[in-house]
Structure 1
């Protein structure tokens, strides 16, 4: 875990604090919203640039792992997430949608850091990344329509516009750049944008809170309610991953990889879609920003728990490798 990975939670938290301080300055709070999409698109361009879509076929080399991971992420998690959200957040539709969008999107970056910390199978975790990205882009709008269209929370034109603006265009731009550059330049360009990802996200977060600081303070109780269902999600899925891994006869590295793949969430992508899909519902975006502040410390604790499972000899005794 390098220095930047360790600093990510602090960088995001600092961006929140700076944004809240700037929200008291009228000229800034009234003009920062215009920059949110710019920073989010740059961040997603960087993500798409580094994801090896040419290795999509590798997602299915370990069929047992891939199917288990995909079923948890895209069948169990949406249903369980909606249940938790409805149970604890029913009184605030915007926070409920924000929580659901966070839960539905598997991580495409920092889960690899925690997989390494837990001594999981990095190659296996990396192989599932392209299919996780593609499925969440396809299924997130579908699940939003299924669960929330009856409450008139979804504007289909806005949802389509957001997919085009923050997903299709950055994705296409990344693929064009990779096609035009030779391998050496491609690697250098990807490295530069990868190092800037967290800063693009931090700037977007700062702009969100600078423009919506007053809204946050007036709805603080509703926002803090997201802690309970989110923690229950992590605990429940951690237990399910352990029991399934033992039942399916996964090795320890496979178990650690499954745990991180199914726990870590991709709030930046969900945030980019939320900003454009739900104009006038800024609490959705704020709820999504709160997610990583809870998630990253929990993932660190879970990585230590996985190592305890490995070193205690309670499980996977005969299947370490």
Structure 2
């Protein structure tokens, strides 16, 4: 999603939500009343996709992986939850509610199976979670989900969409792995040439631009495909219900895992956020490249992205209310059990919601 170098650089929840809604409405109106304009916008999707992928990858801090060495226990827990348990829950929910609408089901499965690599960190900070460790999760989640994407697509959607493994691998290589390498090189070169302070400003501008690029991509999708999408508008209620049930189940999963492994509150909050937030922007880009001309699949991803913002806001309030039953963050009850050192800097007082 908006891949931050720090949570303070994320744009506001209300602004991003407004941009997405405005993009859907504007794209739908243009596609319906000015179909030629809608088609022209649809033909620009590839350029917008490339810009979005570049922005998402450019902001990743792979240097944060150094912090992961001392937190292997938590990282294993988070990886198993994000890439084994959550995809199984997501596939079950999508199959339950949308088996009669296979393309929407595919879109939801893709949305459910990929953990967020951006705005979950801002909400983790707002909930008083371990932001330092969350920063280390970002590059891990991004690389693992890109590598697993072909496998998930084959396992969970093989009866609905047919994709040759070689074609999918080639798409990921040229559209994502190569841009990832280029973006990382540019990131490191920019940090070295500009210095930390000036480069942080560049990252800030990139983060501020990302929601606008996502909105442009959504506008292009809806403007070029609004007739097909409107034909299936009655399915949207089922998509919303499925997303709601998924979020409830992932919250319960986070609670159960945290109790089972007796995580301290900062790690509990981080785990809850990382298994709740999904990587809709990156998955939208990947899916549009891997599965061209599937607007119903894309629409399901966009709907999930819209619901996610209010969900994470509510989740933050639930976590803060539940934090009272945890020991003070400075004195974990059983350090040996937690496997994680205290990190007071990572659980600083939450800022206002002006930035995530």
Normalization by structure 1: what TM-score? 0.92
Distance 1:3 1:173, change over 3 A: closer
Alignment partner, residue 17 of structure 1: 25
Runs of 4+ in 1 over 4 A off after TM superposition: 318-321
Question: Paired residue for 2:353?
Answer: none
Distance 1:3 1:176, change over 3 A: closer
Instruction: Encode CA deviations 1:266-304: one digit per residue, 9 max, x unaligned.
Output: 001110111122223221111111111111101100100
8 Å Cα contact 1:117/1:303 also seen in 2:
yes
Write out per-residue CA displacement over residues 41-80 of structure 1, whole angstroms, 9 at most, x where no aligned residue. Answer: 2122112111111332423421222111111100101111
The CA distance in 2 between the partners of 1:191 and 1:48, in whole Å, is 14
Change (3 A) 1:112 1:278: same
- Which of 239, 246, 259 is 1:246 aligned to? 259
Please state how far the C-alpha of 1:161 moved relative to its aligned partner: 4.2
Alignment of 1:125 onto 2:134: yes
8 Å contact kept, 2:150–2:165 = no
Contact 1:159 1:273 in 2 (8 A): no
**Aligned in 2, Cα 1:74/1:3: closer, same or farther, shift over 3 Å?**
closer
1:226 paired to 2:236: no
Distance (Å, rounded) in 2 between the aligned partners of 1:30 and 1:156: 30
Q: Distance in 1 between matches of 2:224 and 2:170?
A: 22
* Correspondences of 1:157-236 after superposition (within 5 Å): 157-181=166-190, 182-184=193-195, 186-236=199-249
Q: CA, structure 1 residues 204+18, in 2 after alignment: closer, same or farther (shift >3 Å)?
A: same
Deviation of the 1:183 alpha carbon: 4.5
- Which of 109-118 and 275-284 deviates more? 275-284
Displacement of 1:34: 2.0
Cα pair 1:59 1:131 within 8 Å, conserved: no
Which of 274, 278, 283 is the matching residue for 1:270? 283
Shifted more, 80-89 versus 58-67: the winner is 58-67
Confirm or deny that 1:8 pairs with 2:16. Answer: yes
Is the CA contact 2:103–2:160 (under 8 Å) kept in the aligned structure 1? no
Measure how far apart 1:215 and its partner are.
1.0
Superposed displacement of residue 152, structure 1: 5.0
Give, in whole Å, the separation in 1 of the partners of 2:328 and 2:273.
22
Measure how far apart 1:95 and its partner are: 0.7
In the aligned structure 1, how far is the partner of 2:69 from the partner of 2:232? Answer: 44
Equivalent position SS for 1:51:
coil
* Structure 2 counterparts to residues 295-306 of structure 1, below 5 A: 295-306=308-319
Aligned 8 A contact 2:254 2:272 in 1: yes
Cα gap change, 1:205 to 1:165, in 2 (>3 Å): farther
What RMSD, in angstroms, separates the aligned Cα atoms of the two structures? 1.9
8 A contact 1:40–1:166 mirrored in 2: no
1:82 and 2:91 are equivalent in the alignment: yes
- Deviations along 1:19-56, one digit per CA (max 9) or x if unpaired, are 11111202211111222222222122112111111332
Q: Which residue of 1 aligns with 2:302?
A: 289
| Distance in 2 of aligned mates of 1:89 and 1:152 | 15
Query: Unpaired segments of 5 or more residues in structure 1?
Result: none
**Structure 2 regions of 5+ residues with no counterpart?**
1-7, 332-356
Distance 1:162 1:200 in 2: 21
Aligned mate of 1:35, from 44, 54, 63:
44
